[in-house]
Amino acid sequence: MYTTRSDWEEFLEHRKSKSAIFALLVILGFTVIVIRLWHLQIIQHSALSDRAENNRIRQVTLDGRRGKILDRNGDALVDSRPSFQLSVIPEDLENPKKTLELLNKRVEFDMDEKLKEIKKARSFESVVIKRDITREQVAFAEERRLDLPGVHLEIKAIRNYIHNDIASHLLGYLSIITPKQLAKDTESVYSRNDFVGQYGIEKKYEKELRGRKGLKRIEVDATGRQLKLLGQEPSKSGEDLRITIDFKTQAAAEKAFEGKMGAAMAIDPDTGEILAYVSKPSFDPNTFALGITSKDWKSLIKDKFHPLQNRLSQGQYPPGSTFKIVVAAAALEEGIINESSTFYCPGHFRLGRRTYRCWKRGGHGSMTVRDALIQSCDVFFYNAGLKLGINKIARYANIFGLGRYPKINLGPEKKGLIPTTQWKKKYRKEPWIKGETVSCSIGQGFVLTTPAQQARMIAAVANGGTLAPLRIIPGRKNKNESDSGREPMNISPDTIRIIREALRGVVAAPHGTAWRLRNGSYSYAGKTGTSQVIQMKKDNPVENKDMELRFRDHAWFVSFAPYDAPKIAVAVIVEHGGHGGEAAAPIAQRIMDAYLDGIEKTGVEKRIGADNSHPVTENIH
């Protein structure tokens, strides 16, 4: 059968239409390809060129060595140790989940958490999988390197606190930089995985201790492995920091505090240089060095004994009978008493309808100011305090550095509380009453001090009447400090002499409350104190040892030695330790002995033989 001409023409027209459509599609396809090529080669040339270069050339940050922290003799307290760190570069990971699953068979980490970090990280930003891995884990990563594209072993320095928890509240710790801290880093000094000082000296002197980062340019293969070093800008080490602490003295203080809570500070009475710095219980900064776990952090902050609290500068305690030093100085300076004035102590003091007891129930009899300090007679100071009034007591307390920030400047500090009539009216909305002056006169009532303040106070007595600034870095001034930093108290030499002689008698004289130190190696002077935690019932007194621990008295001892040429001043508080002469004084003696033994060659002589010229009467107040 033959087709007609019209059918053939119709067929040709149909073919032409299809060819035109096909040609049009081909032209469109080529146009798209050309446009895409133009977009890639012209518009995206710079970005893609950089990306290609980054796939081949990388810049790797080199960490600067963090400076050591040394004691006054140059012995290392804190340094850094090398370790292996397992990290990944997200851009080089072919299958993140598969890679991490393989790693997780030999290296323990939270895989879900790390997958989230990888997802959030920038392409070429290193994500840490595990710090301080074992030799076996290093060997595994090396053996399986072809199966672990994008996985890298890095040598990283980890902060090492050589003596664990010794001086932890002073040295502080490092921890990973927080997002808030990173946001404030306008100079781009830090990166996301850096550890920075978060507490203590590590924080205060972060700028000096941290090193300056360097860079190296390397060529890498498809899996991100280094092929060639192309160039390098070396890193710089941080400053080694020598502090005033004497390690042997610090270690002796820590050992003396074993099993106890409280604080101790030892300082050079002339310069204010801190020789020992103890707050107990303490913590191990090495726990933070790798990034503290949530479990360990919760354990620290929920511990009922508060190991993170710096008791030296943040612990506020009634000073007890150590405050009698201030009241004695105030009464002598104001002419309320003189060296020969006496008050009679029958064992109690009556004011209105209330009776205030002396710690010695039978009474001390007639007391001079020297006798009252030696035997810690409460009644003498009830009388002297009432004659002075609370405002004058407060003024002299401030002169001795109490009620003022100690300005160690290593973190938050408390300034204690030295009450006045105005203070009570402002904060309690009540008038001051005389009975409150009686309580404050023996360091009870509203009065609160910190151990750091007490160390500074006793150092001023030791050096003849000058408040020295507390220093932890030799030669460096604190903020807003005068050239010398020394602050004359303008207390008369006679007053200082009387108080110093009395404090020597606390140890050496009959009935002295620190008689336990009498047979020691050096000539010590000091003042004991016992501060009540709760008020005792008049009709049912309970022995301190029979109370619950949390209700027991705190034990104080402030001291210096040698008496004639003081080289060390010490303040010790033992929380719930009971009597100052029994619990705190022996600790202070061990601290002073450790330091003086170490500098004996400079001319500090041990006493030959014990001082047994006076009979010992056991006083424990």
Contacting residues for 556 by C-beta, under 8 A, at least 6 apart: 317, 319, 320, 321, 322, 454, 528, 529, 530, 531, 571, 572, 573, 580, 584
| 343-345 vs 348-351, strand pairing mode | unpaired
Give the three-state DSSP class for 559. strand
C-alpha 201/C-alpha 405 separation (Å) is 18
Burial of residue 201, with CB atoms counted within 10 A of its CB: 0-12 exposed, 13-18 middle, 19 or more buried? buried
Provide the sign of the torsion angle of the four alpha carbons 504, 507, 508, 513, taken in this order: positive
- Region for residue 389 given its phi and psi (left: phi exceeds 0; alpha: psi -120 to 50; beta: otherwise): left
Ramachandran bin of 430, using left for φ above 0, alpha for ψ from -120 to 50, beta for the remaining angles: beta
The CA-based angle 213-214-216, given to 5 degrees, is 145
Which residues are 559's β-sheet partners? Answer: 526, 570
Q: Which residues are catalytic?
A: 321
CA angle (444 as vertex; 505, 453 as ends), nearest 5 = 70
Minimal CA–CA distance to 385: which of 370, 396, 398, 399?
396
Residue 410 backbone dihedrals phi, psi, to 5 degrees: -110, 10
Separation CA 620–CA 324 (nearest Å)? 16
DSSP helix/strand/coil, 278 = strand
